[in-house]
Amino acid sequence: MLLVDTNVLAYLLIAGDRTHAAQALYERDPDWRSEAFILVEFSNILATYVRTRELTLEESLELLGSAQSLMPTLASASHAHALETAANLRISAYDGRFISVAKELGTKLITEDRRLRAAAPQWTLSIDEALR
């Protein structure tokens, strides 16, 4: 089981410079989990791609469906715990949700967010670190 951040999911599903690494991670362990907010954030990424005409709405809806299929098991952090985590680590409440789930599951969040990794090194790994 791997706990992944939204950026890792986006790298897997939207072709780019980190797609190969995300695919290697998925091949190593396809049981990806996350905080339920991942689908909100991923939808926002897709909306941006539609707005900038890098994807059509139909392509974005297909990618959203793929994301939902890839991650049927999503956790929901308590709002209070996420807020406490965010305040203690001085991170966004959104990121606090993901770190809260990492704490609850006793695992590290795989993320390419450098600021988040710097704020919570005990709870995070980069894709490359996870592949070692």
CATH number at residue 57: 3.40.50.1010
Separation CA 112–CA 38 (nearest Å): 14
User: What pLDDT, in 10s, does the model give residues 6-62?
Assistant: 999 999 999 999 999 999 999 999 999 999 999 999 999 999 999 999 999 999 999
Cβ neighbours for 113, distance < 8 A, ≥ 6 positions apart? 5, 7, 95
Q: Has residue 90 been placed in a domain?
A: no
Q: Has residue 12 been placed in a domain?
A: yes
pTM tops 0.75, yes or no: yes
Q: Has residue 101 been placed in a domain?
A: no
User: What pLDDT, in 10s, does the model give residues 51-110?
Assistant: 999 999 999 999 999 999 999 999 999 999 999 999 999 999 999 999 999 999 999 999
Q: Has residue 122 been placed in a domain?
A: yes
Indicate the number of domains in the chain.
Answer: 1
